Amino acid sequence: MPTQPPEPDSATDSDIELHNADVCNVVGAVAEVGSKWKLVVLNDLQDDEKRFNELKRSTGASSYTLSRVLADLEDHGLVDNRKELESPVASYYTVTEKGRALSPVFEALDEWGATWLD
């Protein structure tokens, strides 16, 4: 008979605290940009400014998904948006300095893929 209450299968609160206090910020970085569409979109914006539909074609995301991803990235200061309201309207997206700072990540991913994929 245990003197402690039974532990749930997943991490306990104290585990989570330990885990949050963990050494590196890879976990934090992954939490902020570590989703498929965010990585793909940010990578696509590294080189140059792009419009909404350009991103849609190059990434393959639906307009619904793309607009949500871009809004989220903008909220977190990773991309900037510039709108031209004259008809036909145009919307240009660029990476901020914060977003641009991820380029070493993409270079590392690119090199890894070149070596280990196909």
Question: Which residues contact a second copy (rule: CB under 8 A)?
Answer: 9-11, 15-16, 18-19, 22, 24-32, 34-36, 39-40, 43, 56-64, 98, 101-102, 104-118
Q: Which is nearer to a second copy, 64 or 75 (CB)?
A: 64
Peptide bond just before 104 cis, omega within 30 deg: no
CA distances to 27, 28, 42, 61, 108 from 23, rounded to whole Å, are: 10, 11, 26, 35, 22
106 contact choice in a second copy, DNA, none (CB below 5 to 8 Å, kind-dependent): a second copy
> Residue type for 65, please?
T
From 103, 97, 104, 88, select the one nearest 51 (Cα to Cα): 88
Select the residue interacting with DNA from 1, 64, 75, 97 (CB under 7 A).
64
43 contact choice in DNA, a second copy, none (CB below 5 to 8 Å, kind-dependent): a second copy
